[in-house]
Amino acid sequence: MRQWAQDWSRGQVARYRYRRGLDLIRKGNYEAAIAVLTAAIEHHPRPAQIYITRGITRWQAGDLQNALADFTEATQDPKLGAKAYGNRGLLRYQLGDEQGALADWQQAIAVGPRDARVYYNRALLFIQKSRYSEALADLNQALAINPNLAEAYYHRGNVFYELQDTNRAIADWELALCNDLRLEQARLRLQQVQQNPLDDLSQKLQSALTVQQVQIAVSQSGNQLDIDIRRPKGKGVNYFTLPELIRNRLIAWQVPGIRKFRIIGKVEDQSLPEWQQVYTLYQGQPSPPAYWRLASLTTLLIFPPLGIAALVYAYRVGESYRRGDYPLALQASKTVRALCLTGIGVMGSIGVMALGYLGFTQLRSLRSRPAQPRQALLSRSLPRRPLKPAFQLAPAAEQPARGGSSAHTFQRADESRDYRLDRLRDSQA
């Protein structure tokens, strides 16, 4: 008993030291954290977890060889072996041992096949080696385990793009942004791929503005769009109303990466511009709707996972708009609306199914109810009035001896019963 108490006390001290080490890691004090974790290993009931934590801490501190030794020690634990092999494989890849990294990741998958990060890390190595089919298989597996892994969507989109499947690449980059709006790499790839050709944009602007005999040429410089307008002599252009018309068209088309536009107006045979002005594209635009009421309804009544995501994106609408990033606010607004509509559709489907089930059970209860006897139904239709006794007992002096019977009494009972049956037949008639 005393030995058990000592072991329990040492285990509690080891757990405290482990928590203390985690706190030191969060504060960035790696040397003190390593010392505390080392003191906690001996009596901790799960030392493999401490080895993994100490290995990551040593890795962050630059002590790569000792970190590798810690991960190797943690592989002895069957429950944490996948995590240990996964980290050791990543460290071996950083050290240039690609074959060792692939072997460790294969072992991690064999020990624990439900770790999405292992498939994701191995896919990145396959992408660097241009082994796209193997990378695609690993990324598909990683997303099957964790459908919210935004980086996996981004890199799978890159793989699809390398395989010349642009539509699926765009879809994956959009999914990456839906799961993490801060993933700028996916936003840049979308802008590069979806950017309208400038010649096509020139034709669209010229058709939309319906200005006859005026030539429009568009060029891009960073996040600014230069719109060169040349008019013939004798043909006027209203440069005061034209900027608002162009702004409305560009906002409707959502030209990627454009924040400003400049109008350069010239007469066709002159080199100097008669008008030149830079305009902010989203100036004066109201904030996109956040649909926060629908988001709250989705959270409280419909489907909490969808509702929580809708509330997060609803908050990002206002935050992005105040920061001046109107396209990001608009995209977040569209995401909120899609999540809310999906939640309402789920609630409607559940309501229809519930009503159908109630109707079905009611119909079954009506069909299974037994038919009531005719006499019982008839007796219910009679007026409820007190019934007179069919016969009365004779006074004590006139009662027959026990075991005997009175013919006169039974005759009166039979007559009364016949009379009551006659009344029943009359009421039926």
Q: CA-to-CA distance for 124 and 101, rounded, in angstroms? A: 12
Q: CA-to-CA distance for 152 and 172, rounded, in angstroms? A: 9
10 Å CB burial of residue 186 (0-12, 13-18, 19+) is buried
Tell me the average pLDDT across 225-250: 85
DSSP state of 77: S
**Numbers of helices and strands, H then E, in the chain:** 18, 4
Tell me the average pLDDT across 356-373: 71
Instruction: Judge whether residue 414 has pLDDT over 50.
Output: no
pLDDT at residue 131, as a whole number: 94
3-state secondary structure of 291: coil
pLDDT at residue 352, as a whole number: 80
Residues 79-128 pLDDT 10s: 888 999 999 999 999 999 999 999 999 999 999 888 999 999 999 999 99
Q: How many CB atoms lie within 10 A of CB 37?
A: 27
pTM of the model: 0.48
Q: How many CB atoms lie within 10 A of CB 227?
A: 21
Identify the CATH number of the domain defined by range 199-280: 3.30.70.2960
3-state secondary structure of 134: helix
Residues 196-221 pLDDT 10s: 556 667 777 877 776 667 888 888 87
Find all residues with CB under 8 Å of 332, minimum gap 6, and list them. Answer: 181, 288, 313, 314, 316, 317, 320
Q: CA-to-CA distance for 99 and 140, rounded, in angstroms? A: 22
- For domain 2-194, the CATH superfamily is Tetratricopeptide repeat domain (1.25.40.10)
Average pLDDT, the chain: 79
For the chain, how many residues are written? 429
Residues 287-319 pLDDT 10s: 788 877 667 666 666 667 777 777 888 878 888
Give me the residue spans of the domains in the chain: 2-194, 199-280, 292-364
Residues 71-91 pLDDT 10s: 999 999 988 889 999 999 999
pLDDT at residue 328, as a whole number: 78
Q: CA-to-CA distance for 238 and 236, rounded, in angstroms? A: 7
pLDDT at residue 387, as a whole number: 46
Residues 18-32 pLDDT 10s: 899 999 999 999 999
Find all residues with CB under 8 Å of 280, minimum gap 6, and list them. Answer: 259, 260
pLDDT at residue 369, as a whole number: 61
Tell me the average pLDDT across 243-249: 86
Q: What Rg value do the Cα atoms of the chain yield, rounded?
A: 41
Determine contact, residues 219/261, Cβ cutoff 8 Å. Answer: no
- pLDDT band of residue 378 (cuts 50, 70, 90) is very low
Question: What's the distance, CA 230 to chain centroid?
Answer: 50
Instruction: For residue 146, give both structure tokens.
Output: 């964790």
pLDDT at residue 408, as a whole number: 45
Q: Which residue has the higher pLDDT, 146 or 45?
A: 146
Q: CA-to-CA distance for 54 and 21, rounded, in angstroms? A: 9
Residues 388-413 pLDDT 10s: 444 444 444 444 444 444 444 444 44
